[in-house]
Structure 1
Amino acid sequence: MIRTLVADDDPFIRESLRLILGTMPDIEVAGVCADGQEAVGFVREHPGEVDVVLMDVRMPVCDGVEGTRLIREAAPDVKVLILTTFDDDEYIVKALKYGAGGYLLKNVPPDTIAEGIRAVHAGHALMHPDVARKLAGMLHAGGAAAAAPSGRKRLADFGLTDAEQRIVRKIADGLSNREIAQALFLSEGTVKNYITEILGKLGLRDRTQIAIFYLREIAE
């Protein structure tokens, strides 16, 4: 059973999520909170009783970004899945760097939210493709994708070849394997082989984790 805490300042959304998630056979709603501060307090007061926090990003008192930081500091084993809208630019990268397991857009179907909770609980990184593309645009606009800022690691520091580094950046751009193959004049099979090598070198499970790794560890 995945014990899930719901944090959202909209009482209708909060209670709707409680009811919907409560119908899932493998998910138990541990509680609901109106902001990040309440969520942090709940996790601290109920140690070992929360597996995943489903966190709205825009909330009063304490938003989802700060809530993520505090929860991950207080209980590193608790996973955080952020619910966001497409326009929450300023929050997205910060929450990932603070340890959010991923992002889902608020308009996805309930079954997708449940699947997201399961994925994050299992240790998989999760990011809606539209959000990944938006993040890539933000990073390119700031020139962050070209090189790591002073004091931050570079992809080469992880033993990645030049070709592998190019593929990592394309994944962080939100491109599919087919789009990467077209952009780099490779076959899809070759791209898949490169990704397998990248996953092994970085100790990651899937291409979404590669994107989040890049955003957390390399990009400004």
Structure 2
Amino acid sequence: MTEQQTIITPEKSPSGNRIRIAIADDQKLVMKGFVQMLERIEDFEIVAEAKNGRELISMIRVMEQIPDICIVDIRMPQMDGFETVSELKELWPKLRVLVLSVFADEDYVIKMILKGINGYLTKNCDPPILFEAIRSIHENEFFLSDEMSENMMRALKHGDLSEPKFTPKEQEFLNYCCQDMTYKEIAKAMGTTLKSVHGFRDSLFRKLELHNRIALVMYAIRTGRVLIDR
């Protein structure tokens, strides 16, 4: 990140208040870099720096006021990002969580979405994107990296997608798709072949004009097609 990049920032948060941020990342240099960068933004305030999820939760427990947003890495010792998000959402359901990770795998993103995160970015994102994500999440929006198009994100956030008819098998596939299961495991659960499962997936992609499983899961959750028990 260059000096010039760190000072390119959008307008202040619409609320006009400072956004209280807690960060959990076990890499000291990464943590130091993010903290220094975020502290230079007028409407951001760093209230906790933890090296893992367990330490982050301990810090939040003794705060008079919980953070507005927690930025969490995935790979951490003692308590990784998945466990951390589950614990945070159980203890403080309204706490907003942004995952910031080197992993861009579809399975990781879906698993985190199902755990209730409010946003997911990769660590190679440009600083202005990180700033935008923090502000968007603070305003109760969902934020993903640009793996999904701007139009798709707008539709998912505001429920603008049309409601096409699904076959019973497509709905069954969609239900399984929103669980932590591979396509092979879904095929076994449905008592069918992997080829058939790919057919259900591709049919839903066409009907909904989507292009990946992440978008499909987001659609199912946002429209209530599938109810998630977290």
TM range (shorter): 0.5 to 0.7
RMSD over aligned Cα atoms: 3.9
Partner residue, 2:210: 170
Partner residue, 2:108: 91
The CA deviation at 1:31 is 1.4
Q: Percent identity over the alignment?
A: 25
1: CA distance between counterparts of 2:25 and 2:178?
A: 36
Q: Point out the structure with the larger helix share.
A: 1
1: CA distance between counterparts of 2:219 and 2:78?
A: 33
- The change in CA–CA distance for 1:44 and 1:172 in structure 2 (over 3 A counts) is farther
1: CA distance between counterparts of 2:178 and 2:44?
A: 41
Partner residue, 1:156: none
The CA deviation at 1:216 is 10
Partner residue, 2:193: none
1: CA distance between counterparts of 2:110 and 2:83?
A: 12
2: CA distance between counterparts of 1:171 and 1:35?
A: 34
Partner residue, 1:147: 174
Q: 1:16 aligns with which of 33, 57, 64?
A: 33
Aligned-partner SS, 2:175: coil
Higher Cα Rg: structure 1 or 2?
A: 2
Which residues of structure 2 form unaligned runs of 5+? 1-17, 150-169, 180-202
TM-score by length of structure 2 reads: 0.61
TM-score by length of structure 1 reads: 0.63
Q: 1:40 aligns with which of 40, 57, 60?
A: 57
Which residues of structure 1 form unaligned runs of 5+? 133-142, 153-161, 176-206
The CA deviation at 1:81 is 0.1
- The change in CA–CA distance for 1:108 and 1:170 in structure 2 (over 3 A counts) is same
Q: Is the 8 A contact 1:86 1:105 kept in 2?
A: yes
Partner residue, 1:51: 68
Aligned-partner SS, 1:24: coil
2: CA distance between counterparts of 1:104 and 1:129?
A: 9
Q: Is the 8 A contact 1:127 1:208 kept in 2?
A: no
Q: Is the 8 A contact 1:172 1:214 kept in 2?
A: no
Matches within 5 A, 1:201-220: 210=219, 213=222, 217=226
Aligned length: 168
The CA deviation at 1:63 is 0.7
Q: Is the 8 A contact 1:52 1:117 kept in 2?
A: yes
Aligned-partner SS, 1:81: strand
1: CA distance between counterparts of 2:78 and 2:39?
A: 27
